[in-house]
Structure 1
Amino acid sequence: MTLEEACDCLADPVSTGEELSRLVRDELARTGTDLNALREQAWTEAYIHLPNAFDVAGLPATPEDFLPLPDAEGTLLARASSITAIATLGLDTVSYGSENDGELFVNLVIIPGDGYVPEKSRSSMHGHTDAVSFPVRGQFDSEEVRIAPSPDFVCLSGLRNPTNAATTVMPLSQILPQLTEGQIAELKKPQFIIRAQGTFRDGTQRILGEEHQVDGGELLFDVNGQLWVRFSHSSAGADDEEGAAADAVEAFANACKTCATGVAIAPGDILLVNNRIGLHGRTTVDGEAGGESRWLLRTYGLDTSGLNAEQRYEDSVHKLFP
C-alpha cells in the first residue's frame, strides 16, 4: 500500500475501523478474551492505557501547531491504531467542524511564541472534559438541536515525550465520594453557565453565528444507573459567585486535585480517556517547540448510532455539527 492509499483509507475511519477492528476481534476470540467484558471495562474505568500499541518510525521534526498533520509512517500507524482501538470499543472516530476545521486528528505540541495559545500549549492543565458545552450523548442542546454530543472518549497517541510529561486523569468514581449528597444534587441541577472551550470558540462563532454557550446546564447526569460528568475549571461555573451551586463547583474542583493519576504517554502508546466518567489534564511540558519535543495526536470516539442526519456534515463520514 502506498502512502497516498494509506491516507485515503484513514480518511474513512468508519470503514477502516470496521476492517481493522475485525482483526482485533478475531485475535481476542483466539486468545479467549471476552470482547463484551472488555467493552464493559471501558465504561467502568476512567481510562485505558495501551502501551506499545504501534511502532513509531520515520517521524519528521515535531510540528509547531495543531495542523497540519505530517503524513509519515509513524503518524499513519498512530492514526490507524487509534481508529482500531476506538472501533474495537464499538465506537466511531469523529471530529467536530467547529474545532480545527473538522480535522480528524490534530497535533498536541509546544507552540512557539507568546500569548494565550503558546503559553497554554506548555503549561499544566486542570481536569476537564472535552467539548464541554456540547450535550452528553442522549440529550440535545436546548437551543440548537443540530449540535452533536460531546465525545465518549478522548484518544491520545504518543509519538514523542522526551521529558515524560504526564497526562493526568481524574476518575469520577474517586471525586464523588469527596462530595456531600447536597453538593452532588446541586451539580445535577440545570443551573450552570457552560462556555465553549478555547479550541471551539472561533468555530462555533463562525458556524452558529455566536460562540456556543449553555445557560442553565447540568454538570452531572444520571444515565442508565451511572453518573456522567461534564466539567471545565475555566469554562463551566455557577451564575452567582456565592451560594450552594458555587460551593458545589468549588468542592468538585478541589476534589479533582486530590485524585489525579499521571500517565506518561510514551512513543507508541495509546491512552483512551472516558469523557463521561473521567476528567483529564496535563503536567507542565518542558522543552522548546519543534525538533524532538513532545508530540501527541488526539482524536475522539463516539457511539454515533443515535445521531440524526442533521448532526452530521453531508460531505464527511466523521465530521459532526457544529
Structure 2
Amino acid sequence: MDIGDAQQQLSDPVALGQALVGELVHSLAMRGVVHSDLIAHAWETPCIHLVGVFDPDVDVDTPVGFLPVPDTEATIVARASIIVANAALGSSTISYGSENGGALFVNLVVKPGEGHEAEKSKGPMKGHTDAVWLPVRGEQHPYDVRISPSPDFVCLAGLRNPNQVPTTVMPLRSVLRHLTTDQLHELAQPQYIIGPQFTFKKRLKELFGFDLFVEGSQLLFWVDDSPWIRYSHSSTQTDTEESKDAEAAMDAFEAACKVCVEGYSLAPGDVILVNNRTCLHGRSEVGEEHGAKSRWLLRAYGLDTTGLDASQWHEDSSHILWP
C-alpha cells in the first residue's frame, strides 16, 4: 500500500477500525482472550500498556509542533494501531473541532523557544483528565446540548523516548482511598468552576464569544458503582470564596494524586490507552531537547460514541466532534 492509500484509510477511522478489529478479536480468541473480558478489563484497570505493537523505525526528525504528523511508514502504522485498539475496546477514535483544528492525531513533542507553549512542552505535568471542560459521557453540557463528551481514553503511541521519560498515571480508586468520606462528598457536589484547558481555550472563545467557565460543576461521579473523575489543577477552582470545605477537598485530592503515581515509560513501538474516567495522567519532566531524535509521542482520543446525537458531529466527518 502506498502513502496515498494509507492516508485515505486513516481519514476514516471508523471504517478502518471496523476493517481491522475482526482479525484482532479472532487473534485474541486464539490466545484464549474473550473480547467482552478485554473491554471489561479496560474499565477495571487505569491503563492498558501494549508493548512493541508496531515497528517504530522513523526516518524523519522529531517535529517541533503539534501538527502536522509526518506521513511515514512508522507514523501510519502507529496511528492504525491506535485506531484498531480503540475499536477493540468498543470505542471510536475521535477528535474535537475546537482542539488543534480537529486533527485526529497530534505530536507530543518539545517546542523550541520561549513562551507558555514552549515551557509547558518541556516541563512535567500534574495529574489531570483530558478535555476537562467537556461533560463526562452521559451528562449534558449547560451551554449547548450539542457539546460532545470528553474522551473515554487518551491514547499514546511511542515513536521516540531516548531519556525514557515516563507517562504517569494515578488510578482513581487508589487516590480516593486517601480521602475522607466528607471530602468525597464535597468533590461530588456541584460547586466547582471548570474552564477549558489551553488547547481548547482560544477556539472555544471564538465560537461562543466569551470566557467559558462552567459553574456548578462536580468533579467526582459514580457510574454503575464505579468512580469517574474530571479534574485539572490548572482549570478547576471552587465556586465561591466561602467554599472552604470544597477547596480543602480539592487540595486533599491533588495531594493524594501525588502519592499514587505510577510510571509507564513508552518505548518506541508501544501504545498506552489511559482510561480518562477512572484515572488521571501526567508526565515527568521532559527537558530542553527538541527536534532531531528527541522524545516523540502521538496522541489521539477514544470514545464510545453509540449514544451521541447527529448534531454532536461535525458535518461530513466520521471523527470530528462538536464543538
Please give the residue correspondences for 1:67-78 in structure 2 after superposition, counting only pairs within 5 Å. 67-78=67-78
Q: Deviations over 1:4-54 (max 9, x none)?
A: 000100010001011111110111122221111111010011101001011
Write the distance in 2 (CA, Å) between the matches of 1:310 and 1:209. Answer: 20
Q: Deviations over 1:189-244 (max 9, x none)?
A: 11100010000001111222234321110000111121100000111121335511
State the match for 1:167 in structure 2: 167
Please tell me whether the aligned partners of residues 18 and 87 of structure 2 are also in contact (alpha carbons under 8 angstroms). Answer: yes
Write the distance in 1 (CA, Å) between the matches of 2:70 and 2:206. Answer: 26
Write the distance in 2 (CA, Å) between the matches of 1:68 and 1:211. Answer: 28
Q: Deviations over 1:96-135 (max 9, x none)?
A: 0000000000000000000100000010000000000100
Please tell me whether the aligned partners of residues 54 and 268 of structure 1 are also in contact (alpha carbons under 8 angstroms). Answer: yes
| Corresponding residue SS for 1:285 | coil
Give the stretch that moved more between structures: 33-42 or 234-243: 234-243
Write the distance in 1 (CA, Å) between the matches of 2:175 and 2:58. Answer: 41
State the match for 1:143 in structure 2: 143
TM-score by length of 2: 0.98
Please tell me whether the aligned partners of residues 240 and 246 of structure 1 are also in contact (alpha carbons under 8 angstroms). Answer: no
Give the letter aligned to residue 34 of structure 1.
V
Please give the residue correspondences for 1:104-253 in structure 2 after superposition, counting only pairs within 5 Å. 104-241=104-241, 243-253=244-254
State the match for 1:285 in structure 2: 286
Write the distance in 2 (CA, Å) between the matches of 1:206 and 1:6. Answer: 34
Deviation at 1:159, TM superposition (A): 0.2
Write the distance in 2 (CA, Å) between the matches of 1:234 and 1:53. Answer: 34
Give the letter aligned to residue 307 of structure 2.
G
State the match for 1:23 in structure 2: 23
What count of residue pairs does the alignment treat as equivalent? 322
Q: Deviations over 1:167-200 (max 9, x none)?
A: 0000001000100111001101111000100000
| Corresponding residue SS for 2:234 | coil
Q: Deviations over 1:302-321 (max 9, x none)?
A: 00000011111012110001
TM-score by length of 1: 0.98
State the match for 1:255 in structure 2: 256
| Corresponding residue SS for 2:177 | helix
| Corresponding residue SS for 1:190 | coil
| Corresponding residue SS for 1:178 | coil
Identity of matched residues, %: 51
Ranges in structure 2 where 5+ consecutive residues have no aligned partner: none
Give the letter aligned to residue 183 of structure 1.
Q
| Corresponding residue SS for 2:233 | coil
The CA RMSD measured in Å over matched residues stands at: 1.0
Give the stretch that moved more between structures: 208-217 or 269-278: 208-217
Write the distance in 1 (CA, Å) between the matches of 2:157 and 2:58. Answer: 16
Give the letter aligned to residue 175 of structure 2.
I
Deviation at 1:287, TM superposition (A): 4.2
Ranges in structure 1 where 5+ consecutive residues have no aligned partner: none
Give the letter aligned to residue 125 of structure 1.
M
Give the letter aligned to residue 288 of structure 1.
E
| Corresponding residue SS for 2:85 | helix
